[in-house]
A = this chain, B = another copy of it.
């Protein structure tokens, strides 16, 4: 049996083994600074429980059919209204509800990218997105970030050079302009405008992943790239960071013809209609702005605790940009440090983080690490950083001259 399957030719797009991923450890008292999970204590459990029961009782007979009852329409309407708060205007045929933004990334990639097409990304970038591009057999090129987000000047140079040498322009550029995962940085207004201009001039799509945009710690707002050049942006967002990832619901906003093509790939199937019924009930009951304000206050405090712990335990051995929102602090060590070399030692001491190389297309980024402040509590943040520092100082004592 095994020999038969070994000789069977799977589709070329399927890699033999997963090439990217994050560390996972599951000791009971393990401190997961690796998990980009929401804080479970902030889930609106009670409201959700009532919403679930009522959604089924009130609308069950229709809600269980393929297209659901009123829920999907209500969720769509909520997305439309909330988008307006962020300056995004979208008709209902410009919105597609998806199984999380992970599916949005996959659909956008599949409608745009043929094998060999070029996709440009940030370095570092989000690993599930990199995996989607690899699976589509894209040719991936990456551009560094700094404190103001991705280096749009380098993208411009590369585009000029591609044009000059008759080399391919990317089909899409994937970016997390606001509260970058893992970088923690936000793209400046000036760069946003420039990037929008480039997308228009060179005729490529921007895939704007805005998963963390609601988690704004400063009150400063930057316009979504979508608002700057809607016909050139496929905008992604998700309920994962504002309600809970287990719902597996997110959305895409784009030109109606882009949305139409995405629907074709869904083979006519509606998305999580039952879950949408429940979510619609919840959104009707939940005072959303209050809820978000509570999340923001919590995550901002957590960020501050993590930042202070890092300064206390690592001193000038690490630098980082203090994120204005989101879930992550991105550490930069000295160039000769390899964080992969002490990730296991740290795990043995009871803390996990994600080593830098996991976020890059090419073999690089070894002297970085991503810490997530969203999931564990304050005491664990402090203790986790201490464990990590113990592993780190032990490592450099042994190996770095």
Q: Which A residues form the contact surface with B (CB < 8 A)?
A: 1, 4-5, 7-15, 18, 21, 37-38, 40-41, 43, 45-46, 48-50, 52-57, 60-66, 68, 99-100, 102-103, 105-106, 110-114, 117, 128, 131-132, 135, 171, 203, 205, 231-232, 240, 243-248, 255, 257-258, 261, 264-265, 267-275, 277-278
Contact = CB atoms under 8 A, between A and B. Distances in A.
B37 A60 contact: no
Given A4-B231, A11-B113, A203-B8, A38 B64 contact: yes
A204 to B, nearest CB: 9
27 contacts: A1-B231, A4-B232, A5-B255, A11-B117, A12-B114, A13-B110, A14-B111, A14-B261, A14-B265, A18-B264, A21-B268, A37-B65, A37-B66, A38-B64, A40-B62, A40-B65, A45-B57, A45-B60, A48-B60, A49-B56, A64-B243, A65-B245, A68-B246, A102-B268, A128-B267, A131-B268, A246-B274
B38 A246 contact: no
Contacts of A13: 110, 114
A247 B56 CA distance: 11
Contact of A110 (B11, B40, B54): B11
A272 B248 contact: yes
Nearest to A262: B14
Given A14-B265, A48-B56, A203-B4, A245 B110 contact: no
Nearest to A61: B40
A396 B224 CA distance: 59
A245 B49 CA distance: 22
Contacts of A49: 52-54, 56-57, 60
Contacts of A63: 246
Question: Would you list the 6 A-B pairs with minimal beta carbon distance, nearest first?
Answer: A64-B244, A53-B53, A52-B52, A49-B56, A40-B61, A64-B246
A30 to B, nearest CB: 15
A264 B65 contact: no
Contacts of A110: 11, 13-14
Contacts of A265: 14, 106, 135
Nearest to A16: B261
A136 to B, nearest CB: 8
Contact of A11 (B40, B50, B112, B275): B112
A242 to B, nearest CB: 12
A1 B258 CA distance: 13
B247 A274 contact: yes
Contacts of A272: 99, 248, 272, 275
Given A56-B48, A132-B267, A269-B103, A246 B65 contact: yes
